Amino acid sequence: MASIGFWQLGKTDLAKAYIIPTLVAGILLLMIGVDLNYTNIQRVKQFEKEFNTNTSTFYQSEIERTESTLREYSVVFKVIPILIIIAHR
């Protein structure tokens, strides 16, 4: 959406320069979000079974999964600004 805004409303060269970087960043964020959502939907089917089988193991696996997701987000939010800087030049 931001790329469309820069494309349609951008009057300066700088505004036009942000079309591609914001589009790339948006696509990357969309891909990551879809992947995380798909992974969680697949896991929902296993939640009840794992919880009823062994509660403490279930809690530990969910803590590890959550920490892994947060690590993925931290990498993404470091890489995207770098991609924008590179694409801007």
Closest CA to 40 of 76, 60, 68: 68
pTM summary value = 0.49
Contact between 6 and 22 under an 8 Å Cβ cutoff? The reply is yes
The label of the residue with tokens 């979000």 reads 33
pLDDT for position 44: 84
Give mean pLDDT, residues 10-29. 83
pLDDT for position 3: 77
CB contact set of 79 (below 8 Å; sequence gap of 6+): 28
Range of the domain at 28: 2-88
pLDDT for position 30: 92
The label of the residue with tokens 């690590």 reads 71
pLDDT in tens, 32-71: 999 989 988 888 878 888 888 998 998 998 899 899 989 9
Of the pLDDT bands very low, low, confident and very high (cuts 50, 70, 90), residue 88 is: confident
Give, in degrees to the nearest 5, the angle at Cα 45 between 42 and 49.
Answer: 135
The label of the residue with tokens 């009823």 reads 52
User: How many domains are there within the chain?
Assistant: 1
Helix residue ranges, H only, 1-89:
2-9, 13-17, 19-53, 55-88
Of 61 and 17, more confident: 61
